[in-house]
Amino acid sequence: MNLEIRLLDRIAEIPQAEWDSLLAPDSSPFVEHAWLDALEQTGCVVAERGWLPRHVTLWLDGALVAAVPAYIKGNSEGEFVFDHQWAGAAQRHFRVRWYPKMIFAVPFTPATGDRVLSKIDRSAVRAALADVMPQIAEQLELSSVHLLFPRKDEQDAFVEHGWLRRHGVQYHWFNEGFRTFEDFLATLPSKKRTQIRRERRAVRDAGIVLETRRGEAIDDETIAFAYQFYLTTVDKFAWGRRYLNEKFFRTLARTWDKLEIVVAREGDKLLAGAINIRKGDRLYGRYWGSVEERPFLHFEVCFYHSIEQAIAQGIQVFEPGAGGEHKRSRGFRPTLTHSAHYIRDDKLRVALEDFCAREADYLERVVSGEIDDEG
């Protein structure tokens, strides 16, 4: 195909309807124009913070036919496919400058989904991108290009063209035709069932009530509280970063219909909450926080309440975000995530290929249950 490739500085250069016309019905909500544009328009994604938008677009006879959300990175923050060791090894052992690099990804969002958006033959577009990106990396003097959290078939397509395959692990909940929360609990060992019932009872006995707010119920007060509890979590840890601002959440609430906010209250007092995204039969947990510590409130707000809601609404998969082996004991299964990596330097690429193979062997054993990661 005679495709023209253009790198765009802002997603706003493409009208929303034109960008979203590239999406499939099951595309990730996070590659929708509204989400990506809100990140840029509210100043969450800017070059000064290590995120320089360079969206890769493909044009055929002057018409947009494919696109990839893409960024040139000056650091490795907010990606969740951790390559800090790679960056150190590149400099120390191979004298390779790791930054700048390019990523095909959604900022601050470790959720699997399509990355190559296309209204024409997706396999052909993936192949074209996998082949042409090494040339673009050389022209822009990038050390590497990284495809983060794609679906496996997308990863496979890039690996077939010489990119490195890498795995990660997250913990996802799957609906096995449950009709009630008790149906779900019945699939767990007795000890874990008892533990979850005890945790839920402690929250109820404390007089704490949970609700999920959607649509018009997400008013200014809810957004202000959501941003407040978001800050309590990111400010609590040394690795926490204030990637998002309150304007971002307000923009989403005004322009997007997929935002859901779980709130826990004691009377009229708001104690804790979680920010979720729903599209179709999939629910994504993004952020949580509390303004007061209460026993087991984290598990109820982040997991149990949303699982109960998912069962009631026929949601099939709940992805509560990165990390957290403790999720396994609460009914979430270890699930492989994927990435693919083009490395310009030949010697560095060989070393990283060996690293990825050893890492994948370990993670596949975790997912199969051969290795218990709960201890």
State whether 142 and 182 are in the same domain.
Answer: no
State whether 225 and 249 are in the same domain.
Answer: yes
Q: According to the model, what pLDDT value does residue 375 have?
A: 46
Residues in the chain where the model's pLDDT stays below 70: 1, 373-375
| Ramachandran region, residue 62 (left: φ > 0; alpha: ψ -120 to 50; beta: rest) | left
- Residue 22 domain-assigned (yes or no): yes
The Cα-based distances of 265 to 197, 294, 301 in angstroms read 20, 12, 11
Q: According to the model, what pLDDT value does residue 50 have?
A: 93
- Residue 61 domain-assigned (yes or no): yes
- Residue 220 domain-assigned (yes or no): yes
Q: Which domain holds residue 292?
A: 176-315
State whether 157 and 206 are in the same domain.
Answer: no
- Residue 326 domain-assigned (yes or no): no
Q: According to the model, what pLDDT value does residue 364 have?
A: 93
Q: Into how many domains does the chain fold?
A: 2
State whether 107 and 161 are in the same domain.
Answer: yes
State whether 222 and 115 are in the same domain.
Answer: no
What is the per-residue pLDDT across 153-190, written as a single tens digit (0 to 9) for each? 999 999 999 999 999 999 999 999 999 999 999 999 99
- Residue 375 domain-assigned (yes or no): no
State whether 276 and 350 are in the same domain.
Answer: no
Neighbouring-strand partners of residue 92: none
State whether 14 and 107 are in the same domain.
Answer: yes
- Residue 321 domain-assigned (yes or no): no
- Burial grade of 165 (CB within 10 A; 0-12, 13-18, 19 or more): middle
State whether 13 and 162 are in the same domain.
Answer: yes
Name the 3-class secondary structure at 276. Answer: strand
The Cα-based distances of 49 to 75, 244, 287, 310 in angstroms read 8, 11, 20, 36
Q: According to the model, what pLDDT value does residue 1 have?
A: 62
- Residue 96 domain-assigned (yes or no): yes
* Nearest partner of 266 among 210, 325, 350, 346, judged by Cα: 210
Q: According to the model, what pLDDT value does residue 283 have?
A: 98
Q: According to the model, what pLDDT value does residue 185 have?
A: 98
Count of positions (residues) in the chain: 375
Distance, in Å, from the CA atom of 329 to the CA atom of 342, rounded to the nearest integer, reads 36
State whether 43 and 86 are in the same domain.
Answer: yes
State whether 192 and 121 are in the same domain.
Answer: no
Name the 3-class secondary structure at 136. Answer: helix
Q: According to the model, what pLDDT value does residue 374 have?
A: 57
DSSP-derived pairing of the beta strands 164-174 and 317-319 = antiparallel
* Nearest partner of 31 among 106, 119, 118, 123, judged by Cα: 106
State whether 306 and 343 are in the same domain.
Answer: no
pTM attached to this predicted model: 0.96
State whether 112 and 58 are in the same domain.
Answer: yes
- Which CATH number goes with the domain that contains 153? 3.40.630.30
Rg of the Cα atoms in the chain: 21
* DSSP class per residue in 201-248: HHHHHTT-EEEEEEGGG--HHHHHHHHHHHHHHHTTSTT------HHH
- Residue 103 domain-assigned (yes or no): yes
